[in-house]
Amino acid sequence: MYIFPEHLTLLDKFLRQDAHSQINNSPGTADALVTVGMWLHRNNLIASDPSSPLTNPTKTSPEDPTSDYMRYIHLTTLVALYHPQLQARNAASTLAALVLHADPSDEDRLRILYDLLENCTFAVLKARAVAWLREAIIAASQHHKEKNAFAGPYALETLQYVVFPSLDEVLLEDLDEAMEFLAANAPFLLQAVNFALFLWGSEPGLPSAVSEAGAQEQGQDNKWAHVLPDNMHATVRERWFEPLKKILAKIEQEVVLSEDELGPFGGDIVVLGERLARLEGTEWFKAEGS
């Protein structure tokens, strides 16, 4: 058995209709499928013909170039979302990440990440997509001779607006709506600010592959300057960082951030505020005039 196509077919058959009910009614089956998938990946049994096209012509059309990798990751993330056991959810998420990183097509990996970040309605899965993006950037930096989309600024040029979307509209909402937004998106926002700290709060070390002007703009003491599009820090600060900071300030002024009253959400706000303060302490996000 290989992950493609046999294991993908098993997952699809199990989850095709009402994945939530299927997983909750038969969690042991979901456990078994994830375990088999992990074993297949560990033994490098991903595809019987690794050179074959990523898309399955019997299931796709030119207008919908969904790859087998994208389908497989979609199915495993359903287990990561709906399984009642945390350990099984974590295992399914790990399997999805392993298969994503095994995808030989950089463009396909970018398409999968973009699809999750743009279209997924679950903040926890969007948070995992941000973590997978960071893993792909780190992996690319460890293979300097290998050219891929994650080794330079192309990946972030493609994904920056879905990782750090504009929050101006949320800033204009009333307090209850702003709190509802934060409560629904806390995992994603926390992972995004952690990613920003990764990009702009790192120590120097890696050679920059950007142009001389770009290096000066991003700063040559930034370890990840080689993956940052020109002036990205300024646009992220304007459309995402500043509105988010103002939203938190509004909530802190009008709400007592008590975990007894707000539950885990109160803790999320405190952590998010602390991480934003750390980000503001970097060279790239300092307040104007400081």
- Report the domain count for the chain: 2
Q: What are the tens digits of pLDDT across the range 159-177?
A: 999 999 999 999 888 888 9
Q: What are 223's two structure tokens?
A: 């370890």
Question: What is the pLDDT, as a whole number, of residue 260?
Answer: 54
Q: What percentage of the chain exceeds 70 in pLDDT? A: 83
Tokens of 161: 């607006």
Stretch 253-264: mean pLDDT: 62
Mean pLDDT of 80-104: 97
**Do 182 and 86 belong to one domain?**
no
**Domain check: are 168 and 287 in the same one?**
yes
The whole domain housing 218 covers 125-290
Task: Classify residue 22: in a domain, yes or no.
Answer: yes
Domain annotation covers residue 115:
no
Contacts of 163 (CB under 8 A, 6+ apart): 117, 130, 133, 156, 192, 195
Residue scoring higher pLDDT (77 or 220)? 77
Which residue pairs from 53-60 have beta carbons closer than 8 angstroms and sit at least 24 positions apart in sequence?
Answer: 54/103, 54/104, 54/105, 54/108, 56/5
Q: Does residue 243 register a pLDDT over 80?
A: yes
The reply to whether 218 and 100 lie within a common domain is: no
pLDDT band at 253 (very low <50, low <70, confident <90, very high): confident
Do residues 231 and 279 both lie within one domain?
Answer: yes
> How much is the pLDDT for 50?
73
- pLDDT (average), residues 145-157: 88
Is pLDDT of 263 > 70?
no
Average pLDDT (89-106) is 96
Reported as a pLDDT band with limits 50, 70 and 90, residue 190 is very high
140 vs 288, which has greater pLDDT?
A: 140
Note whether 136 and 273 are same-domain residues.
yes
134 and 251 share one domain:
yes
Residues 89 and 196 in one domain: no
Mean pLDDT for the chain overall = 87
Q: What is the pTM of this model?
A: 0.88
CB distance 164 to 196 below 8 Å? yes
**229 and 154 assigned to the same domain:** yes
pLDDT at 259 over 60: no
pLDDT at 59 over 80: no
In the beta sheet, which residues pair with residue 4? Answer: 47
Q: Does 151 lie in the same domain as 233?
A: yes
Task: Identify whether 109 is part of a domain.
Answer: no
Residue 246 contacts by C-beta under 8 Å, 6 or more apart in sequence?
A: 171
Tell me what pLDDT residue 207 has.
37
Among 70, 104, 138, identify where a domain stops: 104
